[in-house]
A and B are shown apart, each in its own frame.
Chain A
Amino acid sequence: MDELINALLRALAFGTPLLLASLGAVINERAGVVNLGVEGMMALGALAGFAVAYGDGTPGSGNLWLGILAAALAGGLAALLHAFVTITLRANQFVSGLSLTLLGLGVAGLLGKRYEGLPLTGQPPQWPFTVGAIVLAGLLAFWLSSTRAGLTLRSVGENPAAADVLGLNVGAVRYGAVAFGGALAGLAGAYLSLVYRPSWTDGMTNGLGWIAVALVIFVGWNPLRAIFGSVFFGLLYYLQFRLQGKTFIPTEVFSAMPYLLVIVVLGVAGLRGQQGAAPESLGRPYTRGER
């Protein structure tokens, strides 16, 4: 029994950054914009959070809470770049997001070099992040389904032309949703560099951002189901560490497992025709007077 509770707690700890990032992606995708830059924004958030929390290394020169804020800002600002390129300049959302990931990983790796391997004194507790993420999932689910603003966001993602006719500012809603998605990806990064492994290492996101993107499809763009999806993948990470070297199965099988499972999960989502649940105009730029 203790073992089971322990496994669940560890799964929640592993799953928290996945939940934060995928909730953000659910919001910008419900507004019709795919952002594959999650991995890059996460790295930027992780670095910004660590840098501000670390200060110049002397105790008291950094600030944990400002660090968390900085992470959200860094993620949000990076996302605005994606918004400008895809909404204003109507570029391909998938390729823009991919380049944002490269850019984010590159910038974070370059600017973060001086923080590599430095220890962080005093780390924030984990539970506010985990509880906060779960509460946020509930709030977002309610906001999307039962508020006017949520309806606005959904209609911009489903039928931007109709939303435009109704006098809604499609571009502004999409900019806001993308920035929100980026801020949550940044927070997920801060969780990694401040709470989960209080340090900065190049490449510390290690594909988590991509798993968060895949999770959005797996949970059918539903914030509440994202909780279970994140715990599921969190459990997998837990098992990976728990079982490594303890069975006849080579460790590399375990390290490849999350990525293999993403493919399986997306395939299963495809079998169930889940892509049909995608917002109608997902991935398509909107221009007035075009269909």
Chain B
Amino acid sequence: MIRFDPISDVPRSRVVWVTLVALLVALFIAGLVFVAAGTNPLEAYSTMLRGTVADWSGWSEVLRRAAPLLLIGVGLTLAIRAQFFNIGGEGQLLLGAVAAGGVALFTPIAPALMMVAMFVGGALAGGLWALLAAFLRVRLRVNEILSTLMLNYVAASLVVYLINGPWKGEKVRGFIYTDDFPAYAQLPTLGDTQVGWPTLVLGAALAVALQWFLGRSTGGFELRVVGENAAAARYAGISVASVIYRMALITGGAAGLAGVGEVAGIHHKLLEPGQISSGYGFTAVIVAWLARGNPALCLVTAPLMGIILAGGDVLKINMNLPFRITDVFSGVMLMCLIASEVFVKNRVRWGR
């Protein structure tokens, strides 16, 4: 029989080493999955590392992935703190991409203002998409995991409809994507890599801003109270509904910004959902969870998960493994992280 004795004041060092052990256990379990697939796990891991962190071209792939992960991840830290399990980052990102595409291709906005308009539109679209789930949760008690997940599928269908139908490019017969955005609606990347540095800078700025918001502002305080004890928040006169709505707008808005960054920086057009995002919305959940709800820590965890996604690409090309392998990593890491929570807060004893 396992027994847990609560620790009253958890030292920070304990949080760090338990998290590290959880990650090691996750890598070990993922290794077992590699073995089951008939692949040598050590070879797989070293291939991943050599293809990602060994040289600049590897790092550029990591950073390319880290940009959207950082934006969505810092937004999700607020959701985690408010106990709102937003699994809809993927859909919110797609809505941001749709808004960016709509603004870039179909509005007569002056070139000088175009980029700003795209980011504002993307943030609004992503934020409203998340707000829908927040509204359903607050007013009708609809579980947000289910609603945000379903909205992912709906968003993907919307994108497919647009690129197949009304927004299908006039110059791209046969393919399903839109025309290219005009040059002034494209974001620069770092050198000849696909690192969207404006999005990275935006993500870093948002990480710092939200860290301040959570720790120092009244709004952040209210949000933490709502997450820790909604009944107490209500008793203290905090409007739980409006706190949840504001959080949803920020968390969805951040994912929307990531969507703008992907289409404006890398693809320069709206294309199939699976090509706009390779599961960023899901991986970002782990970015936020690893950072334990601290926006600034996402600056470390986003590149870390970037290594996993870029590594998945390397494994696909070099070892002919399906990209699904990244789902194995995400699933195992998330499970080990939440399972480790009990070891952070308790001392474990065997016996009655």
| A residues adjacent to B (C-beta < 8 A) | 36, 40, 81, 85, 88-92, 94-96, 98-107, 109-111, 113, 202, 207, 210, 213-214, 217, 250, 252-253, 255-256, 259-260, 262-263, 266-267, 269-271, 275
Give me 26 A-to-B residue pairs in the complex whose CB atoms sit less than 8 angstroms apart, sorted by A's number: A36-B145, A85-B335, A90-B342, A91-B341, A92-B338, A95-B334, A98-B285, A103-B327, A103-B332, A105-B331, A106-B33, A106-B324, A106-B327, A106-B329, A107-B328, A110-B322, A111-B33, A202-B324, A217-B143, A252-B160, A253-B161, A255-B157, A263-B136, A266-B136, A266-B142, A270-B142
Bin the interface of chain B by size.
35 or more
Q: Evaluate contact between A100 and B331: CB separation under 8 angstroms.
A: yes
B146 within 8 A of A: yes
Stretch at the interface among B112-120, B148-156, B180-188: B148-156
User: What's the nearest-Cβ distance from chain B to residue A113, in Å?
Assistant: 5
| Nearest-CB residue, chain B, relative to A266 | B142
With A107-B33, A266-B136: A91-B339 Cβ-Cβ less than 8 Å: yes
List of B residues within 8 angstroms of A213 by Cβ: 146
14 further A-B contacts with Cβ under 8 Å, apart from A90-B342, A92-B338, are A95-B334, A96-B338, A98-B145, A100-B331, A100-B335, A106-B330, A107-B36, A107-B328, A210-B150, A213-B146, A260-B154, A263-B146, A270-B140, A275-B141
3 nearest A-B pairs in the assembled complex, by CB-CB distance: A103-B331, A270-B140, A109-B324
List of B residues within 8 angstroms of A103 by Cβ: 327-328, 331-332, 335
User: What's the nearest-Cβ distance from chain B to residue A200, in Å?
Assistant: 13
A260–B155 Cα distance when bound, in Å, is 10
B158 within 8 A of A: yes
Q: Evaluate contact between B331 and A267: CB separation under 8 angstroms.
A: no
List of A residues within 8 angstroms of B325 by Cβ: 106, 109-110
A81–B331 Cα distance when bound, in Å, is 12
User: What's the nearest-Cβ distance from chain A to residue B19, in Å?
Assistant: 14
B194 within 8 A of A: no
With A98-B87, A252-B158: A271-B140 Cβ-Cβ less than 8 Å: yes
List of B residues within 8 angstroms of A105 by Cβ: 324, 327, 331
With A91-B338, A103-B327: A266-B147 Cβ-Cβ less than 8 Å: yes
User: What's the nearest-Cβ distance from chain A to residue B92, in Å?
Assistant: 15
List of A residues within 8 angstroms of B110 by Cβ: none
Q: Evaluate contact between A262 and B150: CB separation under 8 angstroms.
A: yes
Q: Evaluate contact between B149 and A210: CB separation under 8 angstroms.
A: yes
| Nearest-CB residue, chain B, relative to A210 | B149
Q: Evaluate contact between A98 and B322: CB separation under 8 angstroms.
A: no
Q: Evaluate contact between B321 and A110: CB separation under 8 angstroms.
A: yes
List of A residues within 8 angstroms of B236 by Cβ: none
List of A residues within 8 angstroms of B141 by Cβ: 270, 275
Q: Evaluate contact between B150 and A250: CB separation under 8 angstroms.
A: no
A269–B145 Cα distance when bound, in Å, is 16
List of B residues within 8 angstroms of A91 by Cβ: 338-339, 341-342
B165 within 8 A of A: yes
A275–B140 Cα distance when bound, in Å, is 9
